[in-house]
Amino acid sequence: MPWRTDVVYLYDGTLQGLLTCVFESFSCKELPMHIYTQEECELSLFTAKWVDTDEEKARRVWESIPKKISTRARQLVLQSFYTCLPDKERHILDFLRLGYAAGPSVTERITDERVFVLQKAVKHLLNEAHLLKGFLRFSIHGNVMVGVIEPKNYALSLIAEHFCNRYPEESFLIYDKTHKQALVYQSYQAVILQLDSFEIPKEGEEELRYQRLWQRFYDTVGVEGRYNPKCRMTHMPKRYWGNMVEMAPRENHSDAYADKPAFTSLTA
Amino acid sequence: MDIMEKLTILTNSAKYDVACTSSGVDRGGAPGSMGSTVGCGICHSFASDGRCISLLKVLMTNYCIYDCQYCVNRCSNDTKRVAFTPEELAELTMAFYRRNYIEGLFLSSGILKSPDYTSERLLKTLLLIRNKYHFRGYIHVKAIPGTDPALLTKLGMLADRMSVNIELPSQKSLRQLAPNKSKNDIFAPMKLLTSSIRQNSYDLAHYKSAPAFAPSGQSTQMIVGASPESDFQILSLAQGLYQKYRLKRVFYSAYMPVSDNPLLPARGTKPPLLREHRLYQADWLLRFYGFKAEELLDEEHPNMNPLMDPKCNWALNHLELFPQEVNTAPYEMLLRIPGVGVKSAKRIMTARRNGSLSFEDLKKIGVVLKRAQYFITCSGKLACGLKITQDGVMRALIGDKLPAENKPEQLSLFAPSAMLLKGEIRQCLGVRT
């Protein structure tokens, strides 16, 4: 009997919820047109079916992946879940269907559209997370370090370990403005919380002093004779600039983005 | 003096050093300390010249007893001289690191009083950063030629990478432009670093508690365009350094005119950026693609082609080896196809285990078909509608990169022809006949 396709699944947006949808799809022999979270749900011609998150079903699917496919495939599913790929839930379901049929070689089928689309999205995610490890800026307020990011993907969970490992003795908060989530780290413990709004407190005198020193370093280290804003833009896209101290407008400077080095060569 | 002014002056005098990488060593954080290093390195910002800012790159001092003509800090240059104290620099490094501005410190110095005195100040700074502030991030420090080996060893135990700059790629140029340095002064510390690193890798393998000596290896820098050496000489020297001294990186720095010495390019001369770029491309071919310097250049063709990257240039001169069948070519040969990089070559090896590849598949793998299409077949087929001749491929590949004066313009009866002649292209390509 052919699988029913004129149905749309709704779930709670969690990984466990999605895994329950995968379970549901196989047990009811349904291939949903889409799998949506409640917010994404639009009026649709198809029957919308709410799938209740079930820990046991989710666990069974989760454990079946390394057994029937591979651990590499499970990692790809997990990372894909953190991406901003439109309709990622349906792509993950397609990938798993292929994986259960093809076995461990599925992650090597990099030219198959179902694998390619996930790997491409994950590459974008990993790249964004890598850049953020460099571009994130902390400001220090009392003893707490605060940083804000605006990633396209759910990159926060990917950069958490890096920062916790790097600053083990500090207390810090990283706020993801796009997805309204915050990573809070204190005394060797880290949690990610939902946080609807967050404002960076006003900087104290010492913080401002170091920000000015860093801006001066940035303005000085570029070599005038090699001025190349296009190259800079390629490596450091403009969408990151808003949260970076050195790209902020200078106080007593007319040019907003430190285009020209502030300090002319000492040798002239 | 105010730290702001010191930072400005000592950044300004350090910025011509191009090395700013923080890669090569993976060291996680530890309770009670601050910092970690990441194998692939992290860029924290990009300067207005498009170069990565990874480390706080400053000089300890710009006082210098030497008079190297190509250097902004030469003693005959009339400029303001300042010096950081080790405490100031350690504090600044930690404050920047904590705010995630930098991956660590890149510390170089002019020669104050003597090489040993200077190195001792560097050592004092590193000791403060490592022992007082418990810093586990990245440190790159210069080995000052002429320093006592015992001091260099101590520095190497605290740093992740050390480097001695060759600066000028031949002894003759060195004698003319850097009268206080000799070839031996430069190669002696380099040799010492090589043997210490080798000895240390043996110790690390045999003793659990052996401390690491410059675990990220050593690098060097050569200035391009200040002296008359050819690309072939420079590339051969780099190849020797990679093989003989096990260097991790050789950096090339297009010379920025900073002096009125008649032996050097005049002020206002543009730095040879394209030449520098070609040298880096060739350097990558040496390190990751299995090429030899002699394959890319030779005595008769000592300089790189400005219109085409060295790999395309090599492939066009060896059309007898192409087209390669993507589905069967060995890995070493895949690497030599223009438009195929290390990553895509590896992905081709993986993907072709699951069926034969088409041009469409290669696009997904990340192959740059614009270049690769002239050099490959997929299951015996060439890309549609391609006819391959050396001139045709060359024209297609250099297409929009023709020099500005060859751009189309209003026809004139007397102007020289704007079209590149066949002979001219062959000449610029260095076609071997």
Domain count, chain B: 2
Which amino acid is present at B379? S
Same domain as B319, residue B203: no
Query: B44 with B176, same domain?
Result: yes
Residues B200 and B315 reside in one and the same domain: no
* Cβ-Cβ contacts under 8 Å, B32 against chain A: 168-169
User: Of A124, A148, A165, which one is at a domain's C-terminal end?
Assistant: A124
ipTM of predicted complex: 0.91
Judgement on whether residues A172 and A81 belong to the same structural domain of the protein: no
Of the residues B180, B199, B216, the one at which a domain ends: B216
Range of the domain at A143: 136-194
> A105 and A11, same structural domain?
yes
Residue B346 in any domain: the answer is yes
pLDDT digits (tens, 9 = 90+) for B188-242: 999 999 999 998 888 888 887 778 899 999 999 999 999 999 999 999 999 999 9
The pLDDT value given to residue A268: 31
Q: Hey, is A3 helix, strand or coil?
A: coil
Name which of B293, B295, B294 is nearest B283 in CA terms: B293
Both A17 and A68 in a single domain?
yes
pLDDT tens track for B10-42: 999 999 988 888 998 999 999 999 999 999 999
pLDDT band for position B399 (cuts 50, 70, 90): low
With contact defined as beta carbons under 8 Å apart, do B217 and B41 qualify? Answer: no
* Secondary structure element (H or E) that encloses residue B59, with its range: strand B55-59
* Residue pLDDT, tens place only, B149-192: 999 999 999 999 999 999 898 999 999 899 888 888 899 999 99
Continuous segment of H or E residues that includes residue B200:
helix B183-206
Structural domain includes residue A22: yes
**Residue B387: pLDDT band by 50, 70, 90 thresholds?**
low
Task: Give me the number of domains chain A comprises.
Answer: 3
In a domain, B76, yes or no: yes
Does a cis peptide bond (omega within 30 degrees of 0) precede residue B323? Answer: yes
- Residue B396: which pLDDT band, with cuts at 50, 70 and 90? confident
Residue A201 lies in a domain: no
Mean pLDDT of B374-397: 81
Name B140's bridge partners: B106, B161
- A17 and A115 inside one domain: yes
CB B375 within 8 A of CB B322: yes
Quick check: B79 pLDDT over 50?
yes
- CA pair distance B343, B262, nearest whole angstrom: 46
Query: A175 with A235, same domain?
Result: no
Is residue B230 a part of any domain in this protein? no
Which residue among A124, A156, A186 closes a domain?
A124
Question: Is the pLDDT higher at B281 or at B426?
Answer: B281
pLDDT at res. B394: 78
Across residues A186-199, what is the average pLDDT?
93
Residue B285 lies in a domain: no
Are B364 and A235 inside 8 Å of each other by CB?
no
Domain containing B75 equals 3-216
pLDDT band at A267 (very low <50, low <70, confident <90, very high): very low
Q: Is residue B247 part of a domain?
A: no
Tell me which residues of chain B, numbers 71 to 130, contact chain A at a CB-CB cutoff of 8 Å: 72, 77, 79-80, 92, 95-96, 98-101, 103
Residues forming a β-bridge with A182: A175, A193
A226 to chain B, any CB pair closer than 8 A? The answer is: yes
Give yes or no for A169 touching B (CB within 8 A).
yes
**Does residue A94 register a pLDDT over 70?**
yes
CA distance B3 to chain A (A): 8
Q: Tell me the chain A residues in contact with residue B364 when contact means C-beta distances shorter than 8 Å.
A: 110-111, 116
Chain B residues inside the 8 Å CB shell of A200: none
Q: Does one domain contain both A156 and A226? A: no
Q: Same structural domain for residues A96 and A11? A: yes
Q: Report the pLDDT value the prediction gives residue B184, as an integer from 0 to 100.
A: 87
pLDDT over threshold 90, residue A244: yes
Domain boundary among A81, A100, A124: A124
Do A27 and A86 lie in a common domain?
yes
| Residue B28 covered by a domain | yes
Both B186 and B321 in a single domain?
no
Tell me which of B407 and B178 has the higher pLDDT. Answer: B178
Residues 43-102 of A with CB under 8 A from B: none
Contact B43, A232 (CB under 8 A): no
Q: In the predicted model, is pLDDT for residue B411 greater than 60?
A: no
Strand pairing of A171-176 and A181-186?
antiparallel
Same domain for A15 and A89, yes or no, is yes
Average pLDDT value for chain B: 89
Same domain? For A38 and A119 the reply is yes
In this predicted structure, the answer to whether residue A40 has a pLDDT above a threshold of 80 is no
Question: Is a pLDDT exceeding 70 seen at residue B429?
Answer: no
Q: Provide the pLDDT for residue B204.
A: 85
- A237 or B411: whose pLDDT is higher? A237
Q: Which residues of A152-169 are buried (b: 16+ CB within 10 A; e: fewer)?
A: ebbbbbbbbebbbebbbe
Residues A20 and A89 placed together within one structural domain of the fold: yes
Integer Cα distance of B216 and A1 in angstroms = 61
